[in-house]
Amino acid sequence: MTDDRLDENPEIGESVEETAPQERPQYGVGPFSVREVALVGVWLVAFVVSFFSIASEQAMSQLLFGGSVWSNGLDWILTIGAPTVAVFLIILRRFSPDGIRRVGSLGVDQFASVAFSVSAVVWLTVLWRDIAVAIQTGLWIYGWVVWVELVLMLAGVVLTVAAPFIPPFSEDFTGRREIVAHRNARPIRAVSPRPARPPREAAADADTDTAAFATGAYAQSDYAQPASTESGYTEQDAWAPAQTRDTFEPVDAETEPPSAAKAFWALTPEERDVVDERGVPIFRVGPTAWALVLEDRGEVFVVRNEDGRVGYLHDVSGVTRG
């Protein structure tokens, strides 16, 4: 996605950029940083080694099993498949910055940390099982491939999990632009207690029904009905309607329509990102131009850009309303 700016005065925008502190440049190999080159190299060696047989010569001589990790069921998914996907996304990110930015709620670097960590744990489990069997039977089931893969995956963990704390790999994480976190990675919402249900008035309803039944059944007597001549009943009354038109009282049916959200203009004290439903920035608002807010949702503003795009402004602190 692009990061558009609402700068109506370009001179002000240029002066702000000139006064911003200059960040230390990052050098690497081509478009890749030093950390990314080292990580790709570790993965490449691990990928080539994964095609060798993981069984030892002793196990293969006794016809126990053989073959690489690719031919042993689905073991390849966590051992080498997940790190391969992570490295592919890291390479793709350099050539297409607006491409795949997340895997679920994880960023590309976060997914790489998880992938290499899980792979290292799986290889460690295989090696632990091999040592346990060797202690009990004296037979080594797995060969040198397991040891090499474990060392390479641990190197991948260092280049992903511990890289922000190790120079010069930490330069790859310094000065990155801040964006709104994915909705699954944001703080959880508070859970409100359900309102208590009003007590049911079962006893009062039963008393009312009993009273109505008593008066309806025994209030009138069949022998007390007056004759038709005594009540003034005539033959014309039988054809008269019970109610004629325009005899009811008019009722004022005017209802107030629900108040719609009123749009207003807003001015942020500094440039802030306006994101879409997925949390990806689509344009920016700043102190040099008023932004049209379509709806105020409390902690979030629904903002409309000049080109018609609509996004969400999550940082609404210090906003001036116009």
127-144: pLDDT as tens digits: 999 999 999 988 888 999
Q: What tokens were used for 21?
A: 């502190």
CA 286 – CA 281 distance, rounded (Å): 14
The yes-or-no verdict on residue 214 having pLDDT over 90 is no
Quote the pLDDT of residue 115.
97
State residue 106 phi and psi, 5-degree precision: -100, 140
For residues 282 and 270, the answer to whether their CB atoms sit within 8 Å is no
Quote the pLDDT of residue 191.
80
Sequence-ordered alpha helix ranges (H) in 161-266:
202-218, 235-238
Using pLDDT thresholds of 50, 70 and 90, give the confidence band for residue 260.
Answer: low
Quote the pLDDT of residue 245.
57
Domain with CATH 1.20.140 in the chain: 27-176
Specify the residue for token string 């290292």: 120
pLDDT mean across residues, the chain:
78
State the chain's maximal CA–CA distance in angstroms: 122
Average pLDDT of the segment spanning 107-118: 95
pLDDT in tens, 273-291: 898 887 888 888 988 888 8
pLDDT in tens, 22-31: 567 888 888 9
Q: Residues 53, 58, 62, 63: what is their CA dihedral angle, to the nearest 10 degrees?
A: 0
Average pLDDT of the segment spanning 54-59: 82
The strand ranges marked E within the chain are 28-29, 32-33, 102-103, 106-107, 264-267, 272-275, 281-285, 291-296, 301-304, 310-313, 320-321
Quote the pLDDT of residue 197.
82
Average pLDDT of the segment spanning 41-68: 85
Higher pLDDT, 302 or 59: 302
pLDDT in tens, 143-157: 999 999 999 999 999
Average pLDDT of the segment spanning 26-53: 93
For residues 138 and 90, the answer to whether their CB atoms sit within 8 Å is no
CA 136 – CA 177 distance, rounded (Å): 55
The yes-or-no verdict on residue 222 having pLDDT over 90 is no
CA dihedral sign of residues 179, 183, 184, 187: positive
The alpha carbon of residue 125 and the mean position of all alpha carbons in its chain are separated, in whole angstroms, by: 32
The yes-or-no verdict on residue 114 having pLDDT over 90 is yes
pLDDT in tens, 157-196: 999 999 999 988 988 888 887 777 777 777 777 787 888 8
Beta bridge partners of 291: 266
The yes-or-no verdict on residue 79 having pLDDT over 60 is yes
Quote the pLDDT of residue 139.
85
Share of the chain above pLDDT 70, in %: 72
Q: What tokens were used for 57?
A: 């010569």
**CATH classification code of 27-176:** 1.20.140
Share of the chain above pLDDT 90, in %: 30
User: Structure pTM?
Assistant: 0.56
Cα distances from 19 to residues 12, 13, 14, 15, 89, in angstroms, run 11, 10, 9, 6, 35
Q: Which long-range contacts (CB under 8 A, 24 or more apart) does 75-82 make?
A: 75/122, 76/50, 78/118, 78/119, 78/122, 79/50, 79/119, 79/122, 79/123, 79/149, 80/46, 80/47, 80/50, 80/119, 80/149, 82/114, 82/115, 82/118, 82/119
Residue partners of 200: CB distance under 8 A and separation at least 6: none
Domain with CATH 2.30.30.40 in the chain: 264-321
Beta bridge partners of 285: 272
Quote the pLDDT of residue 159.
96
The yes-or-no verdict on residue 19 having pLDDT over 50 is no
Query: According to the per-residue pLDDT averaged within each range, which of 39-43, 178-182, 185-189, 239-243 is highest?
Result: 39-43
Both ends of the chain: CA-CA distance in Å?
29
Query: According to the per-residue pLDDT averaged within each range, which of 3-17, 125-139, 221-235 is highest?
Result: 125-139
CA 180 – CA 120 distance, rounded (Å): 31
User: In a 3-state reduction of DSSP, which class is residue 287?
Assistant: coil
User: In a 3-state reduction of DSSP, which class is residue 320?
Assistant: strand
Using pLDDT thresholds of 50, 70 and 90, give the confidence band for residue 248.
Answer: low
CATH number for 264-321: choose from 1.10.1200.10, 2.30.30.40, 3.40.50.10190, 2.70.98.10: 2.30.30.40
The yes-or-no verdict on residue 117 having pLDDT over 60 is yes
